[in-house]
Structure 1
Amino acid sequence: MQRNATPYALTVALLLAMAVWLLWIGREPICTCGVIKLWHGETMSSENSQHLSDWYTPSHILHGLMFYAGLWLVARRVSVPWRLTIATFIEVAWEIVENSDAIIERYRAVTISLDYFGDSVVNSVADVVAMWVGFWLAGRLPLWASVAIVFLYEGITMWVIRDGLALNIIMLLYPLDLIRDWQAAG
Structure 2
Amino acid sequence: MQAVETARRQREWMWAGLAILGIILAMAATELAMGRVLICTCGTVKLWHGAVNSAENSQQLMDWYTLSHVIHGLLFYGATRWLFPRRGLPFRAVVATVVEAAWEIAENSPLIINRYREATMALGYTGDSVVNSVADVLAMLVGFALAARLPVWVSVGLGVAMELVALLVIRDNLTLNVLMLLWPVDAIRVWQAG
- C-alpha distance after superposition, 1:43-84 (max 9, x if no partner): 001110000000000000000000001111121111100000
> What residue number does 1:24 align with?
33
The one-letter amino acid paired with 1:50 is Q
Measure, in 1, the Cα distance between the counterparts of 2:12 and 2:91: 11
How far apart are residue 5 of structure 1 and its match? 2.0
**Which of structures 1 and 2 has the bigger CA Rg?**
2
Secondary structure of 1:117's counterpart equals coil
Unaligned 5+ residue runs, structure 2? 1-9
Measure, in 2, the Cα distance between the counterparts of 1:24 and 1:111: 26
- Among 78, 102, 118, the alignment partner of 2:87 is 78
The one-letter amino acid paired with 1:163 is D
Measure, in 2, the Cα distance between the counterparts of 1:141 and 1:4: 20
Write the mapping of 1:8-157 to structure 2, written as runs, cut at 5 A. 8-157=17-166
Aligned length: 185
Measure, in 2, the Cα distance between the counterparts of 1:53 and 1:77: 34
Q: Which runs of 4+ in 1 moved over 4 A?
A: none
How far apart are residue 2 of structure 1 and its match? 3.1
How far apart are residue 9 of structure 1 and its match? 1.1
How far apart are residue 178 of structure 1 and its match? 1.2
Q: Is the 8 A contact 2:49 2:62 kept in 1?
A: yes
Measure, in 1, the Cα distance between the counterparts of 2:149 and 2:121: 37
Measure, in 1, the Cα distance between the counterparts of 2:32 and 2:158: 33
Aligned CA RMSD, in angstroms, stands at 1.1
Measure, in 1, the Cα distance between the counterparts of 2:13 and 2:165: 37
Normalising to structure 1: TM-score of the pair? 0.97
Q: Is the 8 A contact 2:36 2:129 kept in 1?
A: yes
> What residue number does 1:5 align with?
14
The one-letter amino acid paired with 1:144 is W
Q: Is the 8 A contact 2:116 2:125 kept in 1?
A: yes
- C-alpha distance after superposition, 1:157-176 (max 9, x if no partner): 00110000000000001101
Measure, in 2, the Cα distance between the counterparts of 1:54 and 1:6: 30
User: Percent of aligned pairs with the same residue?
Assistant: 52
